[in-house]
Amino acid sequence: MLRVRVRVACAILLFASCGKSNGLQPSDDGGGKTVPPAATCAGSPVTAMEANSVDSISENVDTTCVSVVGYLPWKSGAAGDACTSPTDCAPVCVPCPSGAKHTLASWCDHGHCAAAGDVACMVLGSPLKSCGTAGGTGGANPPSATCTGAPIMNTEAKSADSISENVDTTCASVAGTLPWKMGTMGSACATPTDCSPVCVPCPNGTHHTLASWCSHGQCAAPGDVACMIQGTPGFASCSP
Protein backbone atom coordinates (compact mmCIF):
# COMPACT_ATOMS: atom_id res chain seq x y z
CA MET A 1 0.00 0.00 0.00
CA LEU A 2 1.41 3.23 -0.99
CA ARG A 3 0.10 6.42 0.33
CA VAL A 4 1.05 10.00 -0.17
CA ARG A 5 -0.34 13.33 0.72
CA VAL A 6 0.78 16.25 -1.40
CA ARG A 7 3.04 17.91 1.16
CA VAL A 8 6.61 18.28 2.30
CA ALA A 9 7.83 16.34 5.33
CA CYS A 10 11.05 15.23 7.01
CA ALA A 11 13.67 12.73 6.09
CA ILE A 12 12.08 9.96 8.01
CA LEU A 13 9.40 10.46 5.40
CA LEU A 14 11.01 10.86 2.01
CA PHE A 15 12.93 14.07 1.91
CA ALA A 16 15.82 15.81 3.65
CA SER A 17 17.17 14.86 7.05
CA CYS A 18 15.51 15.86 10.29
CA GLY A 19 17.35 15.35 13.59
CA LYS A 20 16.60 12.68 16.16
CA SER A 21 14.33 9.71 15.64
CA ASN A 22 12.90 8.10 18.77
CA GLY A 23 16.30 6.94 19.92
CA LEU A 24 16.91 4.84 16.82
CA GLN A 25 18.48 5.95 13.58
CA PRO A 26 17.04 5.15 10.15
CA SER A 27 19.22 3.62 7.48
CA ASP A 28 19.13 3.28 3.70
CA ASP A 29 17.85 0.16 1.95
CA GLY A 30 20.36 0.59 -0.87
CA GLY A 31 17.69 1.79 -3.26
CA GLY A 32 17.53 5.33 -1.93
CA LYS A 33 14.63 4.69 0.41
CA THR A 34 14.82 5.39 4.12
CA VAL A 35 14.52 2.28 6.28
CA PRO A 36 12.71 3.31 9.46
CA PRO A 37 13.95 2.09 12.84
CA ALA A 38 12.47 -1.20 14.03
CA ALA A 39 11.44 -2.43 17.47
CA THR A 40 9.76 -5.33 19.21
CA CYS A 41 7.85 -5.57 22.46
CA ALA A 42 9.99 -6.87 25.30
CA GLY A 43 7.22 -6.62 27.87
CA SER A 44 3.46 -7.09 27.90
CA PRO A 45 0.98 -5.68 25.35
CA VAL A 46 -0.57 -2.38 26.37
CA THR A 47 -3.68 -0.63 25.10
CA ALA A 48 -3.65 2.98 23.95
CA MET A 49 -6.62 4.57 25.73
CA GLU A 50 -6.47 8.11 24.34
CA ALA A 51 -8.39 8.94 21.20
CA ASN A 52 -6.25 10.07 18.25
CA SER A 53 -3.02 9.24 20.06
CA VAL A 54 -1.80 6.61 17.61
CA ASP A 55 -0.89 6.59 13.92
CA SER A 56 -0.21 3.31 12.18
CA ILE A 57 0.09 2.37 8.51
CA SER A 58 0.98 -0.94 6.89
CA GLU A 59 1.44 -2.49 3.47
CA ASN A 60 2.19 -6.15 4.23
CA VAL A 61 5.10 -6.19 1.75
CA ASP A 62 8.01 -7.06 4.04
CA THR A 63 9.26 -6.54 7.58
CA THR A 64 10.97 -3.18 6.97
CA CYS A 65 7.98 -0.82 6.47
CA VAL A 66 10.05 0.94 3.78
CA SER A 67 7.13 0.95 1.35
CA VAL A 68 5.02 3.20 3.58
CA VAL A 69 7.70 5.69 4.61
CA GLY A 70 6.48 9.16 3.74
CA TYR A 71 2.74 8.49 3.79
CA LEU A 72 2.11 10.43 7.00
CA PRO A 73 3.72 13.77 7.97
CA TRP A 74 5.72 12.26 10.81
CA LYS A 75 8.20 14.50 12.57
CA SER A 76 11.29 13.42 14.50
CA GLY A 77 10.14 13.54 18.11
CA ALA A 78 12.18 11.18 20.27
CA ALA A 79 11.03 9.19 23.29
CA GLY A 80 9.84 11.59 25.98
CA ASP A 81 9.50 14.60 23.71
CA ALA A 82 6.34 16.67 24.08
CA CYS A 83 3.66 15.98 21.46
CA THR A 84 0.11 16.95 20.64
CA SER A 85 -0.44 14.31 17.94
CA PRO A 86 1.24 11.01 17.03
CA THR A 87 2.77 12.55 13.92
CA ASP A 88 4.89 14.74 16.20
CA CYS A 89 6.79 11.56 17.03
CA ALA A 90 9.22 9.58 14.87
CA PRO A 91 7.60 6.31 13.77
CA VAL A 92 8.96 2.83 14.28
CA CYS A 93 8.39 -0.40 12.33
CA VAL A 94 6.87 -3.04 14.60
CA PRO A 95 5.15 -6.42 14.22
CA CYS A 96 1.36 -6.66 14.14
CA PRO A 97 -0.29 -9.03 16.64
CA SER A 98 -0.82 -11.67 13.97
CA GLY A 99 2.87 -11.76 13.17
CA ALA A 100 1.93 -11.84 9.49
CA LYS A 101 2.89 -8.25 8.79
CA HIS A 102 4.52 -5.16 10.21
CA THR A 103 3.22 -1.63 10.64
CA LEU A 104 4.89 1.78 10.82
CA ALA A 105 3.51 3.39 13.97
CA SER A 106 3.92 6.21 16.47
CA TRP A 107 2.24 6.93 19.80
CA CYS A 108 1.76 10.25 21.56
CA ASP A 109 1.17 8.83 25.03
CA HIS A 110 -0.35 11.43 27.37
CA GLY A 111 1.52 14.28 25.73
CA HIS A 112 4.88 12.58 25.28
CA CYS A 113 6.32 10.47 22.47
CA ALA A 114 6.45 6.83 23.51
CA ALA A 115 9.68 4.86 23.34
CA ALA A 116 10.09 2.48 20.41
CA GLY A 117 9.58 -0.66 22.51
CA ASP A 118 6.47 0.83 24.09
CA VAL A 119 5.06 1.54 20.62
CA ALA A 120 5.62 -2.12 19.76
CA CYS A 121 3.77 -3.24 22.89
CA MET A 122 0.96 -0.77 22.18
CA VAL A 123 0.48 -2.17 18.67
CA LEU A 124 0.19 -5.67 20.15
CA GLY A 125 -2.42 -4.54 22.65
CA SER A 126 -4.51 -2.01 20.71
CA PRO A 127 -7.10 -2.55 17.94
CA LEU A 128 -5.65 -1.02 14.77
CA LYS A 129 -7.05 -1.10 11.25
CA SER A 130 -3.55 -1.24 9.79
CA CYS A 131 -3.06 -4.59 11.52
CA GLY A 132 -6.55 -5.86 10.79
CA THR A 133 -7.45 -5.88 14.49
CA ALA A 134 -10.05 -3.09 14.41
CA GLY A 135 -13.50 -2.92 12.97
CA GLY A 136 -14.47 -0.62 10.14
CA THR A 137 -14.18 -0.78 6.40
CA GLY A 138 -11.09 -2.95 6.21
CA GLY A 139 -11.58 -5.75 3.69
CA ALA A 140 -14.69 -4.28 2.06
CA ASN A 141 -14.59 -3.28 -1.58
CA PRO A 142 -14.70 0.53 -1.76
CA PRO A 143 -16.56 2.26 -4.59
CA SER A 144 -14.66 2.64 -7.84
CA ALA A 145 -14.57 5.28 -10.55
CA THR A 146 -12.79 6.16 -13.78
CA CYS A 147 -12.01 9.47 -15.43
CA THR A 148 -14.38 10.19 -18.30
CA GLY A 149 -13.10 13.70 -18.96
CA ALA A 150 -9.72 15.38 -19.12
CA PRO A 151 -7.04 14.82 -16.44
CA ILE A 152 -7.08 17.47 -13.70
CA MET A 153 -4.00 18.94 -12.04
CA ASN A 154 -4.42 19.30 -8.28
CA THR A 155 -2.61 22.45 -7.14
CA GLU A 156 -3.68 22.56 -3.47
CA ALA A 157 -1.19 21.29 -0.91
CA LYS A 158 -2.44 18.57 1.46
CA SER A 159 -5.75 18.27 -0.40
CA ALA A 160 -5.46 14.68 -1.62
CA ASP A 161 -4.83 11.32 0.00
CA SER A 162 -3.92 8.25 -2.02
CA ILE A 163 -2.86 4.78 -0.96
CA SER A 164 -2.21 1.63 -2.96
CA GLU A 165 -1.01 -1.92 -2.52
CA ASN A 166 -0.85 -2.98 -6.17
CA VAL A 167 -2.67 -6.20 -5.29
CA ASP A 168 -5.72 -6.00 -7.54
CA THR A 169 -8.20 -3.49 -9.01
CA THR A 170 -10.53 -3.35 -5.98
CA CYS A 171 -8.37 -1.48 -3.41
CA ALA A 172 -9.95 -3.75 -0.80
CA SER A 173 -6.56 -4.51 0.74
CA VAL A 174 -6.11 -0.89 1.82
CA ALA A 175 -9.70 -0.08 2.79
CA GLY A 176 -9.78 1.17 6.37
CA THR A 177 -6.06 1.89 6.50
CA LEU A 178 -6.57 5.64 6.72
CA PRO A 179 -9.16 7.35 8.94
CA TRP A 180 -11.43 8.26 6.04
CA LYS A 181 -14.88 9.58 6.87
CA MET A 182 -18.02 9.41 4.76
CA GLY A 183 -18.12 12.86 3.19
CA THR A 184 -19.92 12.74 -0.14
CA MET A 185 -19.54 14.90 -3.23
CA GLY A 186 -19.97 18.55 -2.29
CA SER A 187 -19.69 17.98 1.47
CA ALA A 188 -17.56 20.48 3.36
CA CYS A 189 -14.08 19.22 4.21
CA ALA A 190 -10.92 20.44 5.87
CA THR A 191 -8.73 17.47 4.96
CA PRO A 192 -9.02 14.73 2.31
CA THR A 193 -9.83 12.14 4.98
CA ASP A 194 -13.09 14.01 5.59
CA CYS A 195 -14.19 12.61 2.22
CA SER A 196 -15.16 9.07 1.33
CA PRO A 197 -12.42 7.48 -0.81
CA VAL A 198 -12.80 5.89 -4.21
CA CYS A 199 -10.74 3.24 -6.00
CA VAL A 200 -9.35 4.64 -9.24
CA PRO A 201 -6.73 3.65 -11.84
CA CYS A 202 -3.22 5.07 -11.62
CA PRO A 203 -1.84 6.85 -14.70
CA ASN A 204 0.68 4.09 -15.34
CA GLY A 205 -2.15 1.60 -15.79
CA THR A 206 -0.38 -1.02 -13.68
CA HIS A 207 -2.41 -0.66 -10.51
CA HIS A 208 -5.22 1.15 -8.72
CA THR A 209 -5.18 3.52 -5.76
CA LEU A 210 -7.71 4.38 -3.07
CA ALA A 211 -7.95 8.17 -3.08
CA SER A 212 -9.92 11.16 -1.86
CA TRP A 213 -9.74 14.83 -2.71
CA CYS A 214 -10.82 17.83 -0.66
CA SER A 215 -11.01 20.33 -3.51
CA HIS A 216 -11.24 23.93 -2.31
CA GLY A 217 -13.08 22.92 0.85
CA GLN A 218 -15.49 20.45 -0.73
CA CYS A 219 -15.29 16.70 -1.33
CA ALA A 220 -14.75 16.03 -5.01
CA ALA A 221 -16.97 13.72 -7.04
CA PRO A 222 -15.60 10.20 -7.66
CA GLY A 223 -15.02 10.89 -11.36
CA ASP A 224 -13.16 14.08 -10.52
CA VAL A 225 -10.97 12.17 -8.06
CA ALA A 226 -10.15 9.74 -10.87
CA CYS A 227 -9.26 12.59 -13.22
CA MET A 228 -7.19 14.27 -10.51
CA ILE A 229 -5.14 11.11 -10.04
CA GLN A 230 -4.60 10.96 -13.79
CA GLY A 231 -3.52 14.58 -14.00
CA THR A 232 -1.45 15.12 -10.87
CA PRO A 233 2.16 13.89 -10.82
CA GLY A 234 4.08 12.95 -7.70
CA PHE A 235 1.81 10.43 -6.02
CA ALA A 236 4.04 7.76 -4.49
CA SER A 237 0.97 5.52 -4.43
CA CYS A 238 1.01 5.46 -8.22
CA SER A 239 4.76 5.07 -8.66
CA PRO A 240 5.90 1.98 -10.55
Where exactly are the structural domains of the chain? Answer: 1-135, 160-238
More confident residue, 147 or 5: 147
Contact 130, 61 (CB under 8 A): no
**Which residue type sits at 95?**
P
DSSP string, 152-187: ----STT-EEEEE--S-SS-GGGTTSS----B-TT-
Is it the case that residue 135 has pLDDT exceeding 50?
no
Q: Over the Cα atoms of the chain, what is R_g?
A: 17
CB-based contacts of 193: which residues, under 8 Å, 6+ apart? 161, 178, 179, 180, 181, 212
- Give the pLDDT score at 152: 94
- Give the pLDDT score at 97: 86
> What integer is the mean pLDDT of 112-134?
86
pLDDT band at 153 (very low <50, low <70, confident <90, very high): very high
Question: Strand, coil or helix: what is 120?
Answer: helix
Q: How far, in whole angstroms, is CA 39 from its chain's centroid?
A: 19
92-95 and 27-28 beta bridge pairing: unpaired
> What integer is the mean pLDDT of 18-47?
64
**Which residue type sits at 146?**
T
User: What's the pLDDT tens digit per position in 64-109?
Assistant: 888 888 888 899 999 999 999 999 999 999 998 888 889 999 999 9
**Among the ranges given (18-22, 48-52, 142-146, 155-159), the one the predictor scored with the smallest mean pLDDT:** 18-22
User: What's the pLDDT tens digit per position in 182-234?
Assistant: 788 899 999 998 888 899 999 988 788 989 999 999 999 999 999 999 999 88
- Give the pLDDT score at 27: 46
Q: CA-CA distance, 27 to 78, in Å (whole number)? A: 16
